[in-house]
Chains A and B, each alone.
Chain A
Amino acid sequence: MAHPLKPALLGAALALASALVLSVPAEAKDRFVIDLVNEPSTLDPQLQWNPDSYYVYRNIFDNLVTRDDKGEITPQIATSWKVLSDTRVEFEIRDGVTFHDGSTLTPEDVAFSVNRIIDPKLASPQQGQFDKIVKAEATGPHSVVLTLSGPYPALLAQLVKLSIVPKHVVEAVGNDAFNLKPVGSGPYKFDSWQRGVAVTLTRNDAYWGTKGPFAIAVFRAVPDAATRLADVEAGSADLAVSLDSDLAGQLAASGKGKRLYTLTERLAYLRLNPTRPPFDDKRLRQAAAYAIDKEGITEGILGGLDKPIGQMVTPAHFGWFEDIPGLPYDPDKAKALVAEVGGTPKVEIATGSFFDQRVVQAIQQELADVGFDASIRLVDTPTFLKLIQQGAQGGPALAVSRSSCACQDADGALYQLFHSGNPWTIVENKDMDAWLDDARATLDADRRLADYRKVSTFIATEIPVVPLFQTVAIYGAAKPLQWTPTPNESLFLNRMTWSD
């Protein structure tokens, strides 16, 4: 349909636009659209805990402490903290922070937030991350004291995930209503939640810290990765989460966007259960470790952004050591070890549908190449999680899995997996228990490091697991977006900038 006025209007618009561009060099971005995979499960930060939820609610709420882009723990609502005794830590609470309803954030709100999440009645899935905290008390106009059941060195690392909720609002409206209309103190305010479609936030212009760069932020649910990519290419989304390396490569090649990525603290590993045949024979565990070409997997299959790793912690964790590389890829040694044991050991690789099956197939092939009779047992995710939570005796002989404590501390990464008596563990060893318990019960960082060195050395020599690789998080972004993704997979809007 040709409209006679159209060319004239277009010309006028162009002239106006160029005038605007000339006078205002950096055009502000008003509406920022983020494509998530699913909609948030909840916006109550003390309930569900999954990336699609905390991508959103970490912008609505402030946490007690946070990590900067370099990964250091830095003040947020707490301005400083002091260890009073092995079991008591005092936090100084920031002055002049207001919630979105205008009320002041007080130490009572902080104490309430802690006591709420550890209350069994809330049944928060996050409860276990804070279970060393016995209680929290507001002890002064600016201070809160946390009482612990024992010395707990990973306390701050866990408190990075503790969002502060307003006591008076939660108590007045109840948990269900709070979840539907959350009120926080963060750089963005909750505006609306169109179920299944999008959550909209607006900028909190009264924010105490760095304000957000966008007036409005829309978090949409776009389950298909190819669609998220198309949205960025078409300009209908400015940022998309969870792309694989192929899609991110397409985006970069199209010139319609760019890829941003970071190594996360999530790592993939192979569990070789030392209590069950055939891996009760250490030589076969060594053979399996030598058989796997981690570099081949990350470069050949995953696109080269994931990073092979030799420990069960990543460089993003406290307790990682540069000089513990793990066993190298050496198929000849692996073959020799299998031949020494004799026969073709039959192994079944248990795996869940959340794991990249191309990697599992590569592992199967590599095990077969050195003389194992390897097969794959693929089950759905809940069944798999149940399977590997049976402890050492009940768990499968061989499994491929992924893990992240989202705490960047060796305690979270290693304790549940390698201490006897835990559902996830496959190791029952008194020395390991002693080291892990000691490292958990002292605030002396050097002593903790010495303990974790022993733990990681034990893992590298006894090989109950083969650490495979540190996984990467890849985002697709509009070109003007300036942002550094962090290993703990957060999306802090007020750490982004926009420049054409």
Chain B
Amino acid sequence: MPVPRVADTFKGAVSRVTIGATAEEGGTRTTTVTVGGASNVVYGGEPGKLGEKPVIAIDVPDSAPQDWSDALAAQYKDVFDDPAAWAKKAVDEYGADLICLKFDGIHPDKGDLGADHAVKVTKDVLAAVGVPLILWGSGNDAKDNQVMPKVSEAAKGENCLIGTVTEDNYKSLTAIALADSHKIITEAPLDINIGKQVNILVSDMGYPLENIVTFQSTGALGYGIEYTYSIQERQRLATLGGDKMMAMPSVVDVGSEAWRAKEAKSDAPEWGPAEARGPMWEAATAIVLLQSGTDIIRLRHPKAVATVKNFIKEMW
């Protein structure tokens, strides 16, 4: 029986963003990463409409993390105090497409380390690996404004993805990202209107829309993931409808959120063995979010990385 066609005609598509610069492009990266490009809803239309393959960024803390659960920390115990070795391990052994250098250690309550430290770690990690870098601040506005511009400068020419900028704190980082030609992450607290607003604010400063990656905040599986899921779906639909202020690829922070969940970290044998449960919860969180349309996934546990990579390989 002939079946009618569902021919959706969409005006817009997710913009393509390339991260990293090789020697020819003025950087020192050996690979670059391009994300975005989807021109339909997830699994809508032909498989080609899915756009570029989503990529995995493995978290590398700028200093030994204080609050990682044992099952997770054990995977990195030989590199716990050494971000450069950590990054190398994440790329060589676990297959990271990018490194997300997370500057928790500069937060006033988590070490209060200074700009010298942050700059040194950035340079060390750039020297240790050839993949592109995400440079992600601490979330403390005052400290990030003080330190992240120096981090940006230290990575000038490398075409990093730097963030995050928020509705209340975007000026200094946007200006420096513009000056140093980095891509930028705009962050919103699970609120699609604020998500759009911060994109507008950043673009009003002359920052190109096609260099933005959005971060809508991430809820873990079981802990609010449905909010992230629906915002991501709405973002994609707005994009397809032609809204240029929403047509960016997105990043999700799965690693830190998933490992906060009881199901991932607590000693609860009735839920299965802890060493399998944590990475499964992390992978499952990532898989759910992939169904809603996302482009860069921050992960931590190598087993979760393997599961998600395998899924992406099947789908793209």
Q: Are A and B a genuine interacting pair, yes or no?
A: no
> What residues make up the interface of B, taking CB atoms closer than 8 Å to A?
none
